[in-house]
């Protein structure tokens, strides 16, 4: 039995004309909320992070590998990701079963929610969802991201009933890092964190993600975590040689906003040059001007490489190739992380499902 404590103060109301809301540690409101929560914790002598302040700050700082090969990549491919993954209704069975078994009325944090593909399953289970993700473009695809129930447009698990249309039009979402979630301590009944932890590049950051999940879920509440496994099924087309790898994502140019904008700019320049060429007989260019015009003409590969740092253009396929960083978990590795947080989390069950390792955890402190 855990001693009964007073209810923590509610977070201050935040008024913003920005949607989805961007949550940053530098915002005045966030600072006030953090201060108020810290004062309450001190008064009630609750245990806080074991790490000292400087070490924790270092852990929360995003490594360059994640900035370039996770955050920037998902920002770039968000539209295609939603079109090919979300609208196909590809959900992990274990995650949908987990949310379906929650008590009606549960508040569920979907940490790393992406395009909100699990939102309909949570709403269908008569629960409430709060979604956070580091990618604003992905979160923007959650707005009106579901279809009206009974329509033939898209898979059934992406449909919502008429009485949930308001949720579909303005889902409760915020841009936030899983290292520092804008959610009240013990404020959620449950949480899911699907396909997030394999994008965290160091063990301290993986532990911090689990700490944050444990912090936001009430004592006795459960958490479902899933991440890519190094060991893949024999029928899988993916085979990995190591645990830290770059996995290519082939993007179609029509989904890439920056490239579309650059192409339009190039087309305008081409039209301008064509007009200038017609006037060449009467107004010949100097050699320097001609060289300048030629240098402005960009090839397709150059357009893509300049628009997205680290992206490559596959000319034979007409695709833009992005490299996503992934840490592939070995059998027992996720469980070993939880063992380091045994004062906060209890492992209920774990296993392997469709190329992923999963855990269901209970918050104990």
pLDDT of residue 289: 40
pLDDT of residue 9: 56
- Global pTM reads 0.78
Q: CB atoms < 10 A from the CB of 252, how many?
A: 15
Q: Which residues of 203-222 are buried (b: 16+ CB within 10 A; e: fewer)?
A: eebbbbbbbbbbbbbeeebb
The tens-digit pLDDT sequence of the chain (365 residues) is 555 555 555 555 545 555 566 655 444 344 444 454 555 455 444 444 454 667 888 898 999 999 999 999 999 999 999 888 766 767 889 999 999 999 999 999 999 999 999 999 999 899 999 999 999 999 999 988 776 655 545 566 677 777 777 788 889 999 999 999 999 999 999 999 999 999 999 999 999 999 999 999 999 999 999 999 999 888 888 888 899 999 999 999 888 887 766 556 655 554 554 444 444 434 444 444 433 343 344 567 778 777 888 889 888 888 999 999 999 999 999 999 999 999 999 999 999 998 999 999 999 98
pLDDT of residue 298: 59
pLDDT of residue 54: 77
């Amino acid at each position: 039995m855990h001693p009964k404590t007073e209810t923590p103060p509610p977070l201050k109301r935040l008024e913003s004309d920005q949607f989805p809301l961007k949550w940053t540690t530098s915002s005045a409101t966030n600072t006030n909320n953090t201060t108020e929560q810290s004062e309450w914790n001190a008064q009630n002598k609750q245990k806080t992070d074991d790490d000292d302040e400087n070490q924790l700050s270092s852990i929360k700082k995003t490594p360059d590998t994640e900035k370039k090969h996770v955050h920037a990549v998902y920002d770039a491919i968000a539209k295609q990701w939603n079109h090919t993954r979300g609208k196909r209704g590809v959900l992990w069975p274990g995650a949908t079963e987990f949310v379906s078994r929650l008590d009606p009325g549960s508040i569920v944090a979907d940490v790393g929610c992406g395009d909100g593909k699990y939102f309909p399953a949570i709403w269908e289970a008569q629960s409430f969802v709060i979604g956070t993700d580091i990618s604003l473009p992905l979160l923007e695809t959650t707005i009106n991201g579901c279809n009206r129930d009974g329509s033939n447009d898209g898979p059934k698990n992406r449909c919502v009933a008429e009485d949930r249309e308001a949720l579909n039009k303005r889902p409760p979402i915020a841009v936030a890092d899983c290292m520092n979630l804008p959610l009240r301590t013990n404020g959620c009944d449950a949480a899911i964190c699907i396909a997030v932890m394999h994008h965290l590049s160091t063990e301290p950051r993986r532990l911090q993600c689990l700490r944050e999940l444990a912090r936001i879920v009430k004592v006795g509440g459960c958490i479902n975590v899933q991440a890519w496994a190094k060991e893949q099924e024999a029928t899988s087309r993916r085979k990995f040689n190591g645990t830290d790898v770059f996995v290519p994502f082939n993007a179609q140019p029509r989904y890439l906003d920056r490239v579309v904008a650059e192409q339009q700019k190039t087309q305008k320049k081409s039209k301008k040059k064509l007009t200038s060429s017609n006037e060449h007989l009467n107004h010949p260019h100097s050699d320097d001007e001609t060289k300048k015009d030629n240098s402005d003409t960009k090839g397709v590969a150059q357009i893509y490489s300049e628009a997205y740092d680290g992206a490559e253009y596959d000319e034979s396929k007409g695709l833009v190739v992005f490299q996503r960083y992934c840490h592939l978990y070995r059998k027992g590795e996720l469980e070993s992380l939880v063992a380091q947080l045994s004062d906060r989390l209890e492992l209920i069950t774990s296993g392997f499902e469709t190329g992923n390792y999963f855990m269901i955890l209970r918050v104990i402190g």
